[in-house]
């Protein structure tokens, strides 16, 4: 009875109500008669509910318990005493209680059982219409709810009966909360529909799409139903106009307390595509699948041109994530819909402040910093955070190399004291945006240029700086091209089959400022081929002419017989290339078993290189001028061969072949 004292806000003359819900007997029963007498004296009406589950499960006799509870309840017991067999059955008596309690206080004399528009809580939700405001009135008509339009047409309040078709009395729809959320959408034909959510309708929630005429007559064109009890379907609605052409493309309906896996309060946002005159389901959005409460969909916001591609996106608050610190999900638009996979999850935990319930409300309609991009304001407990949109830029890069191919044969410069092939890469950058008003700004781009060469065996190097990797930055004005030149050179190389690779990679400074478009490439590879110098067709047709003469020679008919003491013979060889360049030319040498390779003496050691290696079985291969035995080049050398002393009773044979 203390609770009803004036110090605690009790008003004289107001009805006083006490509700006792218990599943067991009291421990201070001896004080009960005095307490009840006091209640009687102070006109406190007492409802008592006995929950018998505890007794029934233990098969105990609840007689004493029931007697005590009936004693507590006001008389007559039929009106003030309830019993339920189990805890869940409590739901069944909520409606009956509601009826009796509502009529105790606040109702008008002429209708004791209904509040009508008292307790309406008008403004619980509001939505701006082109010519006025649509208000939600969750508390109207005994919390069945309602809406009110205040516009050029005047003030329109649909009566309770206007929604009767959707909220029939026999369903005992106490507290459907119509008007918990309100919105409007425009069909492709230009017709406007009002939208109102009733998240407690049959405990599953419902969204009404309707027209309202100035007399307050409601024409419901379509209803959308929730699918899960307690999910609060319709507590938030969002009409999304993707292209900004005035016609709504999507309606988003949130069910923030939708239970996901492991009975977590995941939340879910349903998408409906707006057709000619009807909406049809078009998938749903979800939070990240983590074992945590999320309440995804507690707030919905549209952000025009979020992806800077002309399409609106949506932001969805999930205030219970990360231990009630909260997170905001960002979804980008696609033609006619939203990309179901979120583009970004912004978590309060990462923002650095000690935020709680970040994402409880959200709005993305203003450009707060004047950069031409819409920013997003996000509500948290006792705080609001403005998230700035960053510009999305695309960087296109072109690389050209002069000359376009590396000549194997013609050295055009000196590097490090020897002949080299010098080349120059011209690299051009251009930064642009997808949005219509790019504005003036410089982009700070970091880039690397590298020659993909292994060490050792590297074939090329940059003329200045590091030999194979240059790390640089450039200030790029938006919309204009900037070029740089990078000189490099190719050293003497034997590997001319694999083209030389030049790789460019680039990135923006990630911390602040603009971000790189995901669709924009971040690297480029340019292959520079080696050029064989074989005429127009670059096909090398060589003609190797081999001439050899020995200082002793014989044939089958007239063999040359060696005298004792003769130990060696000399073979003079001349190889000439009479046609185009010969690549990887070889000279093959085979000796009979009684001959040994002793030495090879080049006539002009500076001209064409000759490198011989034994293949086994008295065979040798000499590479001629590797990699290239040039057109019209000639090589002459003397082979010195030794006879083996033991096997002289055989023919000695020398075979030479050039390929």
Residues that bind ligand NAG (CB under 6 A): 42-43, 62, 66, 83, 110-111, 113-114, 160, 446-448, 471, 497, 505-507, 584, 586
C-alpha–C-alpha distance, residues 493 and 127, integer Å: 74
Q: Which is nearer to ligand NAG, 83 or 592 (CB)?
A: 83
For ligand NAG, the closer of residues 546 and 601 by Cβ is: 546
CB of 104 to ligand NAG, least distance (A): 13
When the beta carbons of 228 and 458 are compared against ligand NAG, the nearer one is 458
- Beta-bridged to residue 393, according to DSSP, are 433, 516
Q: Which is nearer to ligand NAG, 128 or 507 (CB)?
A: 507
**DSSP per position, 253-271:** EEETT-B-GGG-B--EEEE
CA–CA separation, 306 vs 374, rounded Å?
A: 7
Tokens found for residue 627: 């990699």
Nearest to 24 by CA among 38, 1, 40, 56: 56
Which CA distances in Å does 135 have to 138, 184, 240, 504? 10, 11, 19, 58
- Rounded least distance, CB 24 to ligand NAG, Å: 14
The minimum distance between CB 515 and ligand NAG, in angstroms, equals: 14
Query: Distance (Å, rounded) from C-alpha 594 to C-alpha 520?
Result: 70
Smallest gap from Cβ 501 to ligand NAG, in A, equals 15
Q: Which is nearer to ligand NAG, 284 or 505 (CB)?
A: 505
Helix 32-41 and helix 63-72: axis angle, to 10°? 30
Residue 448 Cβ, how far from ligand NAG at the closest point, in Å? 4
Residue 269, token pair as written in the block: 């946002």
Q: Over the Cα atoms of the chain, what is R_g?
A: 46
Q: How far is the CB of 165 from ligand NAG (least distance, A)?
A: 15
Scanning 103-202, the segments in alpha helix (DSSP H) are: 140-143
Q: Are 515 and 392 in contact (CB under 8 A)?
A: yes
Q: How far is the CB of 505 from ligand NAG (least distance, A)?
A: 4
Closest CA to 635 of 550, 546, 551: 546
**Beta pairing class for 279-285 and 268-274:** antiparallel
CB-nearer residue toward ligand NAG: 407 or 586: 586
Q: Nearer Cβ to ligand NAG, position 115 or 637?
A: 115
Q: Of 337 and 448, which has the nearer Cβ to ligand NAG? A: 448
**Smallest distance from ligand NAG to CB 43, Å:** 4
10 Å CB burial of residue 649 (0-12, 13-18, 19+) is: exposed
Give dist(CA 393, CA 510) in Å, integer.
12
Q: How far is the CB of 163 from ligand NAG (least distance, A)?
A: 12
**Which CB sits closer to ligand NAG, 330 or 608?**
608
Q: Which is nearer to ligand NAG, 288 or 453 (by Cβ)? A: 453
**Rounded Cα distance, 225 and 289, in Å:** 24
What is the bridge-based pairing of β-strands 418-433 and 413-415? antiparallel
DSSP 583-602: EEEEEEEEE-TTEEEEEEEE
Query: φ, ψ for residue 269 (rounded to 5)?
Result: -120, 120
Measured from the CB of residue 155, what is the shortest distance to ligand NAG in angstroms? 21
Tokens in use for 581?
């360049």
Which pair of tokens denotes residue 434? 């997808």
């Amino acid at each position: 009875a203390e609770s009803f004292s004036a110090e605690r806000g009790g008003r004289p003359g107001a009805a006083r109500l006490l509700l006792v819900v218990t599943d067991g007997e009291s421990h201070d029963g001896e004080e009960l008669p005095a307490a009840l007498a006091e209640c009687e004296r102070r006109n406190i009406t007492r409802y008592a509910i006995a929950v018998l589950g505890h007794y029934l499960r233990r098969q105990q006799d609840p007689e004493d318990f029931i007697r005590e509870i009936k004693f507590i309840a006001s008389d007559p017991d039929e009106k003030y005493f309830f019993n339920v067999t189990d805890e869940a059955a409590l739901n069944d008596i909520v409606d009956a209680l509601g009826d009796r309690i509502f009529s105790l206080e606040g109702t008008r004399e002429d209708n004791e059982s209904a509040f009508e528009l008292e307790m309406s809580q008008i403004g619980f939700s509001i939505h701006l219409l082109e010519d006025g405001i649509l208000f939600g009135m969750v508390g109207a008509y005994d919390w069945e709810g309602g809406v009110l339009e205040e516009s050029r047409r005047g003030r329109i309040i649909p009566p309770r009966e206007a929604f009767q078709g959707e909220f029939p009395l026999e369903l005992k729809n106490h507290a459907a909360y119509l008007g918990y959320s309100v919105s409007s959408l425009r069909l492709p034909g230009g017709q406007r529909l009002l939208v109102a959510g009733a998240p407690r309708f049959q405990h599953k929630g419902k969204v009404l799409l309707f027209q309202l005429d100035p007399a307050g007559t409601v024409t419901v064109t379509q209803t959308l139903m929730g699918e899960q009890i307690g999910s609060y379907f319709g507590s938030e609605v969002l009409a999304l106009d993707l292209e900004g052409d005035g016609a709504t493309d999507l309606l988003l309906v949130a069910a923030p307390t939708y239970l996901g896996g492991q009975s977590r309060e995941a939340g879910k946002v349903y998408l409906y595509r707006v057709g000619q005159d009807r909406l049809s389901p078009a998938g749903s959005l979800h939070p990240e699948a983590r074992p945590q409460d999320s309440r995804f969909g507690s707030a919905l916001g549209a952000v025009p041109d979020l992806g800077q591609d002309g399409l609106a996106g949506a932001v969805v608050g999930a205030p219970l994530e990360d231990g009630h610190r909260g997170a905001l999900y960002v979804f980008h638009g696609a033609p006619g819909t939203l990309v179901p996979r979120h583009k970004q999850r912004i978590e309060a935990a990462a923002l650095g402040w000690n935020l709680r319930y970040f994402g409880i409300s959200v709005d993305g309609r203003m450009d707060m910093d004047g950069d031409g991009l819409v920013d997003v304001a996000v509500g948290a407990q006792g705080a609001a955070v403005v998230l700035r949109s960053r510009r999305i830029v695309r960087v296109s890069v072109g690389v050209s190399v002069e000359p376009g191919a590396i000549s194997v044969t013609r050295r055009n410069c000196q590097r490090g004291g020897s002949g080299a092939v010098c080349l120059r890469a011209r690299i051009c950058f251009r930064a642009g945006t997808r949005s219509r008003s790019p504005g003036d700004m410089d982009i700070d781009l970091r880039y690397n240029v590298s020659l993909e060469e292994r060490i050792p065996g590297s074939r090329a190097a940059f003329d200045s700086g590091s030999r194979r990797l240059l790390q640089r930055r450039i200030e790029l004005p938006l919309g204009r091209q900037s070029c740089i030149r990078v000189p490099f050179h190719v050293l003497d190389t034997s590997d001319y089959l694999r083209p030389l690779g030049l790789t460019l990679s680039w990135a923006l400074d990630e911390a602040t400022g603009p971000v790189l478009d995901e669709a924009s490439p971040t690297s480029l590879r340019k292959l520079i081929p080696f050029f064989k110098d074989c005429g127009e067709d670059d096909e090398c047709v060589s003609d190797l002419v081999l001439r050899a003469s020995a200082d002793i020679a014989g044939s089958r008919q007239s063999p040359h017989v060696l005298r004792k003491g003769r130990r060696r013979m000399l073979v003079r060889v001349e190889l000439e290339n009479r046609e185009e360049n010969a690549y990887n030319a070889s000279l093959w040498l085979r000796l009979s078993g009684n001959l040994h390779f002793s030495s090879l003496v080049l006539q002009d050691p500076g001209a064409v290189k000759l490198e011989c290696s034994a293949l086994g079985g008295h065979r040798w291969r000499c590479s001629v001028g590797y990699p290239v035995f040039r057109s019209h080049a000639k090589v002459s050398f003397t082979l010195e061969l030794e006879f083996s002393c033991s096997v002289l009773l055989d023919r000695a044979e020398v075979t030479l072949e050039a390929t």
